[in-house]
Amino acid sequence: MFANLLPLIARGPAPGGERGFVQEVRRPPRAPRNPRVGRVVFACWLLIAGKCGLVVWLVHRYGVPFNPLWVNGPTVLFALLGTAVYFGRP
């Protein structure tokens, strides 16, 4: 690490060292989202809503001794996370 320290200090800046810096960065335009994927996400949210309704009905119908949010909460949270990651991408 220190082997080249003295020669670096003694000779000063290298000639033409500015050419090594980035002058410009071009980013290709973002590809448009596929409308089919949006419809699939919407269909998945409909399935999640149906599942949540079914779980609430089954817990109340059969008197299961736990809160339906123990099943529905993680489902909705992970679905929100997945949707946010997809639609929030740059």
- 3-36 pLDDT, tens digit each: 667 666 776 666 665 566 777 889 888 888 889 9
Which sequence spans correspond to the domains of the chain?
Answer: 47-90
**CA 37 to the chain's CA centroid:** 16
- Residues with Cβ within 8 Å of residue 37, at least 6 apart in sequence: 86
- 29-66 pLDDT, tens digit each: 888 888 999 999 999 999 999 999 999 999 999 999 99
